[in-house]
């Protein structure tokens, strides 16, 4: 596709946080032509009614999904809640490309999906076509894909550092501990008691202990990299901040390997990547270093316990953990420069 050719885009579920972030990037993307925005509860309203910061952009009126003429669409970004996406995507014309930001097509095994999300998969045949969109790991598959399952925010922060190390057999696939902290936007924009300011502010709490829905997704990618089943200890925590994920990862070194070996492998893997940056050995990132950007920053340090290492990964959960990576996948699918529209520098402070 030539650099001046426009991609006709529909965003389903445009009024949520991921929809808002997609619009933030796409209104300045040189190849994006946003022709349809849906929001079931706010259909008929201008974007300013739900996203006032976009009031002065030339954007279409919000409509219901069944009002969209998909024959005029090249690409659909699907930002609907899990469990509602499968039938919608299955009904789209076969020439339409899709980047799905829900969890509905991330798990290759439909039985694992059913046990994880508490309902049967409603588009099992389509699941076989889906490509997991962790761009740096599956870029060649994404290039040829019609349906890309955009990764979850926590899985992105865990898989980017761990997959290269498991593939190179530098760490044990056993005894991997992933301790993650996320901002409140990861819970979505719908009003919920647990997201109220008084419930979240001035505190931190763990949730989803031993059964968080992102665990099978993390294990799927790590098992693919290791070539055999990997089970992890993953615990997420909610932080009193809007954006960001910080994952502290504790690993056991393979025999004869050092933390410096892990750092060297990650540097080699990501040396030419625009959006994954490995910091100098012993230096660790913070969420404020990636806020608003499509970056994942990774730091490696030696543990004081012999034979172990500590890896820290930071990202913006709404950008590299969701909408930024979705646009990155769109760029790959349409043969555009991978950084197009998403090369924003992180906001500091």
Catalytic residues: 153
Place of tokens 């954006």: 243
Pick the closest to residue 32 from 9, 59, 14 (CA basis): 9
How far apart CA 237 and CA 116 sit, in angstroms, is 19
Half-sphere exposure of 308 (CA within 13 A, CB side): 12
In three-state secondary structure terms, 257 is coil
Taking a C-beta distance cutoff of 8 angstroms, is the pair 186, 247 a contact? no
Place of tokens 């500091």: 348
How far apart CA 71 and CA 100 sit, in angstroms, is 18
Pick the closest to residue 58 from 25, 76, 40, 33 (CA basis): 33
Q: Is the dihedral of CA 287, 79, 325, 9 positive or negative?
A: negative
- 135: CB partners within 8 A, 6+ apart: 142, 275, 325, 328, 329, 332, 338
Taking a C-beta distance cutoff of 8 angstroms, is the pair 187, 208 a contact? no
In three-state secondary structure terms, 215 is helix
What tokens were used for 341? 């529209």
């Amino acid at each position: 596709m030539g650099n001046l050719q426009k991609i006709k885009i529909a965003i389903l579920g445009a009024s949520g946080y991921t929809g808002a972030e997609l619009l933030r990037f796409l209104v300045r993307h040189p190849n994006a032509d946003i022709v349809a925005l849906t929001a079931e509860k706010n259909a008929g309203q201008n974007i300013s009614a739900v996203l006032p910061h976009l009031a002065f952009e030339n954007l279409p009126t919000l409509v219901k999904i069944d009002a969209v003429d998909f024959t005029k669409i090249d690409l659909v970004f699907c930002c609907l809640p899990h469990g509602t996406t499968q039938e919608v995507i299955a009904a789209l014309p076969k020439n339409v490309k899709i980047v799905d930001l829900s969890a509905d097509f991330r798990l290759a095994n439909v039985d694992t999906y059913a046990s994880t999300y508490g309902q049967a998969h409603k588009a099992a045949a389509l699941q076989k076509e889906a490509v997991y969109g962790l761009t740096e790991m599956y870029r060649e598959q994404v290039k040829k894909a019609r349906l890309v399952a955009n990764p979850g925010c926590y899985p992105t922060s865990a898989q980017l550092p761990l997959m290269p190390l498991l593939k190179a057999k530098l760490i044990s696939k056993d005894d991997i501990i992933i301790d993650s902290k996320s901002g409140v936007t990861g819970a979505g924009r719908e009003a919920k008691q647990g997201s109220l300011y008084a419930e979240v502010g001035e505190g931190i709490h763990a949730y989803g202990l031993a059964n968080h829905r992102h665990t099978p997704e993390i294990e799927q990618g790590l098992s693919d990299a290791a070539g055999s089943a990997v089970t992890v200890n993953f615990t997420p925590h909610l932080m009193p901040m809007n954006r960001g994920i910080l994952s502290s990862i504790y690993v056991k070194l393979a025999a004869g390997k050092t933390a410096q070996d892990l750092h060297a492998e990650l540097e080699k893997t990501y040396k030419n990547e625009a959006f994954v940056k490995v910091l100098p050995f012993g230096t660790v990132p913070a969420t404020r270093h990636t806020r608003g950007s499509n970056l994942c920053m990774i730091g490696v340090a030696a543990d004081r316990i012999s034979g172990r290492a500590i890896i820290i990964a930071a990202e913006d959960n709404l950008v590299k953990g969701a909408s930024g990576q979705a646009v990155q996948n769109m760029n790959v699918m349409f043969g555009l420069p991978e950084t197009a529209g998403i090369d924003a520098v992180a906001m500091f402070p």
